[in-house]
Structure 1
Amino acid sequence: MASVSISHMVIFIASLVIAAGVVGTMVTGVDRVNTALEDNSLDASEQLRTDITVISDSGSEVYDPNDETLTLLVKNTGTQPLPSDGTNLDVLVNGQYVLPDDLETEVVNGPNDAWSRSEVLRLDIQTGLEEGDHRVHLTINGEKETFQFRHVE
């Protein structure tokens, strides 16, 4: 009789250890999912509050072939301030990534420490362009803007 009680006790303790391991694993998994959801919601919130618009006229000459500079005026139409130095701004010209060293930025109608709502950023891009149609693709915080223009020499 005592051997049956000891066997049941061993099985009961083993069951508790296994259950505790399963619960610990599930708590860790739920915590990881919760952290991922929080991170995604912060990213989504930042993306929703970010909006930019290229206000340069595509019919005007935005490219200067003498110093190989493409100048765009970009307005912050979102609700959050953005870095005025071009960090977090990815620029593609005709599908080619422009290195940050080839970008110069200046806030036109405000202090140059931040690019606030309704302020315009002058973006000078050092790039060589042939005559013809061109496309500039800007991305910041997941917000994308495309500007198309024609360069005629």
Structure 2
Amino acid sequence: MASVPVSHLILFIASLVIAAGVVGTVTTGVDRVSAAVEDAGIDATEQLRTDVTVISDASAGVYNESSENVTLLIKNTGTQRLNPDGSGLDVVFDGAYVPPDATDGELVSAGDGAAWDRGDVLRLTIDVSQVDGTGGTLDPGTDHRVYLTVNGDEELFQFRTEGS
């Protein structure tokens, strides 16, 4: 008769040990999922706060043939502060990635100049001679596309070079 309570006690202790292991594993998993959701929320907030707009006029001659540069005016219309030199921008010109050393950014209108704030305008100069596939110059009368991304915000600017 004494063997029944002993076997029940052993099964009870074993079930407690198993339950403790399961709770530990589940708690760790929940913590990891919670941290991942929080990180994704922060990233989404940053993306939602970032917005830029190209305010250059496509018909105003953004390409300078003598210097082989394309110059765009880009306005920060979001609430996210961006790098004042435009180093956070990813630029694709006519389907070719533009390396960071082929671009130069300068704030045209800025409050303190320490950051590219909402309402500030950045003058972005792209050295076409350093972009693969362009041959260093752009043919007159051809269409071109500049694709900009920053923190998930995407902007497309299309223009035609002057000439026949």
The alignment's TM-score, normalised by the length of structure 1, stands at 0.93
Q: CA deviation at 1:129?
A: 4.2
Please name the residue that 2:144 is paired with.
134
1:152 paired to 2:162: yes
Please name the residue that 2:39 is paired with.
39
1:61 paired to 2:71: no
SS at 1:108 equivalent? strand
Is 2:86–2:106's contact at 8 Å kept on the other side of the alignment?
A: no
Distance 2:50 2:153 in 1: 6
> Map of 1:1-153 to 2, 5 A cutoff?
1-110=1-110, 111-127=112-128, 128-131=136-139, 132-153=142-163
Q: CA deviation at 1:81?
A: 1.5
Which moves more between the two structures, 40-49 or 114-123?
Answer: 40-49
Which moves more between the two structures, 51-60 or 9-18?
Answer: 9-18
Distance 1:129 1:18 in 2: 71
Which moves more between the two structures, 105-114 or 49-58?
Answer: 105-114
Distance 1:24 1:129, change over 3 A: farther
Q: How many residues align?
A: 153
Is 1:93–1:136's contact at 8 Å kept on the other side of the alignment?
A: yes
Distance 1:87 1:10 in 2: 66
SS at 2:115 equivalent? coil
SS at 2:58 equivalent? coil
Distance 2:85 2:6 in 1: 73
Please name the residue that 2:133 is paired with.
none
Unaligned runs of 5+ in 2: 129-135
**What amino acid does structure 2 have at the position aligned with 1:104?**
D
C-alpha RMSD over aligned residues: 1.4
The alignment's TM-score, normalised by the length of structure 2, stands at 0.87
Deviations 1:81-115 (A, max 9, x none): 21112232111111111111111110001243211
Deviations 1:36-77 (A, max 9, x none): 111111111111111100000011211112222111000001
Distance 1:93 1:29, change over 3 A: same
Q: CA deviation at 1:5?
A: 2.3
SS at 1:59 equivalent? helix
